[in-house]
């Protein structure tokens, strides 16, 4: 079986990337803007291209041929411990950069993760708009709130995962 290449957006040090790598995927390209994380990411994924620009500067043709996107746009604007400004915070709006790149690249699937606070009643309209934007981009989507501890991660960490598969592959 050939490797399934995926791109990681908002990669951080690569925690989500590692899970996908352990599941047999190849992280061929990543994007992370925070320079304090670059060295760690490079050590964790020495064979991965690390694009260090802001996501707003990345174009779909900058990303090599891939089958999927993974990533978690910044969570501070959705977090109960953060600003809770949601879509009114520029970081909350970065979900739309993820969607823009989906529209440009059209991978077979994507997974986007974020904190449980995104499900708060205060953010209901914004979250529904994000889901609709994913769907309007040509994906059948579903989402679920999961606790990392239930998957052998040694922390009690609730995360919302949105998964999309191109509509032409619905069956």
- What are the residue numbers of the active site? 75
Tokens found for residue 130: 């994000």
- Going along the chain, which residue ranges are E strands? 4-9, 25-31, 49-51, 68-71, 109-115, 139-147, 158-166
Contact 68, 106 (CB under 8 A): no
Tokens found for residue 162: 């949105």
Burial 123-137 (b: 16+ CB within 10 A, else e): beebbeebbebbeeb
Three-state secondary structure call for residue 5: strand
């Amino acid at each position: 079986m050939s490797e399934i290449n995926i791109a990681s957006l908002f990669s951080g040090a690569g925690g989500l990337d590692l899970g996908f790598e352990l599941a047999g995927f190849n992280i061929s390209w990543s994007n992370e803007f925070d320079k304090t994380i670059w060295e760690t990411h490079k050590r964790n994924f020495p064979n991965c291209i690390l694009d260090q620009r802001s996501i707003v500067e990345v174009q779909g043709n900058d990303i090599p041929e891939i089958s999927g996107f993974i990533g978690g746009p910044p969570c501070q604007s959705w977090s109960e411990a953060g600003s809770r400004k949601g879509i009114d915070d520029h970081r909350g709006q970065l979900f739309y950069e993820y969607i823009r790149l989906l529209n440009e690249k059209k991978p077979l699937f994507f997974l986007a993760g974020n904190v449980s606070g995104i499900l708060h009643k205060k953010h209901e309209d914004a979250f529904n708009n994000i889901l609709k934007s994913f769907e309007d981009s040509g994906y059948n989507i579903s989402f679920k709130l999961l606790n990392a501890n239930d998957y052998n991660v040694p922390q009690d960490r609730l995360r919302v995962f949105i998964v999309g598969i191109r509509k032409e592959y619905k069956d």
